[in-house]
Amino acid sequence: MTQIIRKALDQHQDDKEKLFQEFLSFLRMPSVSNSNEHKEDMLKTADFLVKKLSDIGFQHAESFPTGRHPIVYAEYVVDPEKPTILLYGHYDVQPTDPLDEWRSAPFEPHLEGDYLYARGASDMKGQIWATISALQSVLQSSDLAINVKYLIEGEEEIGSPSLAGFMEEHKSMLACDFVLNPDAGMIAPDKPTIVYALRGLAYFELKITGPKSDLHSGSFGGVVANPANVLSRLIAAMHDNKGKVMLPGFYDDVREITENESLELSRLGIDENFYKKISGVPNLGGEEDFDPIERVGARPTLDVNGLYSGFIEKGAKTIIPAFALAKISCRLVPDQDPQKVLIGFRKFLEEQVPSSVIWELKLMSGAPAYIAGEETPGLEAFKKALKATWNVDPVLKREGGSIPVATEMKEILGVDSIITGFGLPDDQIHSPNERLHLPTQQKGVEALIRFFLGF
Ligand SMILES: [Zn+2]
């Protein structure tokens, strides 16, 4: 280990207790973004971060007002010739309801063994704090090997409504070589994880309309087509019996995964039993010809998210419903385009819907998938830092969900993101009793110290 890394790690040992106390203050701030109730708390939290980043030596730190909650931005330029990293974070947290399921108050951090319980402890104040702790130790013991810009928004949990506009407006201020986004987690405490691909989404509402109002099923059954029956038949036809999606052209643009990727994914050790165990299902579904881990990360899907039609109260009522409605979402992979999926979906309906009903399909939201290039700057240095800390090669993972900010940063700033983090799958983020595994966060700090010095 180089002298300079040793010094920074020692420095962190000295700073640790004080940093922990400050972390508790950060967690006590109820920075809930979804209502106006906490507007003041949001301002205070942003100011707290501006102050902390200035205190540890950032040459510039500022809070930018937006339509809702401020964006914190800070930078430290060590040498304009060196590469620049943009760190991403969000200081807002999810609401706390249902409050009575919390075993301790969500904004009064509570220590139990290795776990610290508080709203935001894992998602993602604990992650922000790991980066700030590492930056502080490096800046106090030597100097960064890379220029650092830090953007921390306060609206991630409500879909980041101000972020894209802010990035468009401040492109040159935010110019960088790559992004480090620690808002994802690890798959297990001994498996440091880097996410290099995210699935996109196309969300639809499909409405099948029949008679002008609900009808008596005795008087009209047999002559008027039942919209609920029609919708069910359509949904059934959206997959074949091997789990393949039957919308025309659905797989046309799907990028096949490389052999290398396939090998990497199999290293995750996530098999059929893993999914059976965590979901509690007797057997898995989906495309038979692919491994479960590929089906979640590298294959597109179509799922009904909700169904509504006719009489859904207790007891019985004999009607032919006037309409039937389904919310349907497709998870997309590179290089599918939500608009093209919409065209395929329309074509499917034109071919399949009988003339006895009327159909209407709306694309409610859509976002393409994201995949980082293998050449992402900083990726090798980050892998090395994780390996030196955990003594294992980090796992590279495709994530089944979406992180829209990574896609937007690619589109607006033209840079790839290293998506990672030191939270664990059982941190209960977004749920009551959210917690953070402190020894893992600690390792994260060490890895980040190595990373910030590793260029
Ligand atoms: Zn988050």
Question: Does 265 fall in a domain?
Answer: no
Q: What's 62's domain CATH number? A: 3.40.630.10
**C-alpha 179 – ligand 1 centre gap (Å):** 16
Closest CA to 138 of 22, 17, 20, 5: 5
182 alpha carbon to ligand 1 midpoint, in Å?
9
CATH of the domain at 353: 3.30.70.360
Separation of 28 CA from ligand 1 center, angstroms?
Answer: 17
* Cα 285 from Cα 295, distance rounded (Å): 10
Which one-letter DSSP state was computed for residue 387? Answer: H
Q: Of 367, 395, 426, which one is at a domain's C-terminal end?
A: 367
Whether cis (ω within 30° of 0) applies to the bond prior to 192 is no
Ligand 1 centroid – CA 184 distance (Å): 7
Amino acid at 2: T
Q: What's the whole-model pTM score?
A: 0.84
What is the 357 CA–ligand 1 centroid distance (Å)? 43
Residue finishing a domain among 367, 385, 403: 367
Give yes or no for a contact between 264 and 395, defined as CB atoms under 8 angstroms apart: yes
Identify whether residues 144 and 163 lie together within a single domain: yes
Q: Which segments in the chain show pLDDT lower than 70?
A: 1
Q: Do 92 and 136 fall within a single domain?
A: yes
CA of residue 175 relative to chain centroid, distance: 23
User: Do 254 and 358 share a structural domain?
Assistant: yes
Would you say residue 239 lies in a domain?
Answer: yes
CB 148, CB 174: distance < 8 Å: no
> 382 with 429, same domain?
yes
Q: Can you give the residue range of the structural domain that contains 92?
A: 3-198+369-452
Q: How far is the CA of 183 from the centre of ligand 1 (A)?
A: 5
Domain count, the chain: 2
Q: Are residues 136 and 253 in the same domain?
A: no
Residue that is last in its domain, among 350, 367, 384: 367
Q: Tell me: do 394 and 308 sit in the same domain.
A: no
> How many angstroms separate the alpha carbon of residue 30 from the centre of ligand 1?
15
Distance 161 CA to ligand 1 centre (A): 15
- 377-422 pLDDT, tens digit per residue, is 999 999 999 999 999 999 988 888 888 899 999 999 999 999 999 9
pLDDT of residue 260: 85
Report yes or no on 285 lying in a domain: no
pLDDT of 1 reads: 62
398 shares its domain with 408: yes
The per-residue pLDDT for range 98-151, each reduced to its tens digit, is: 999 999 999 999 999 999 999 999 999 999 999 999 999 999 999 999 999 999
In a domain? residue 292:
no
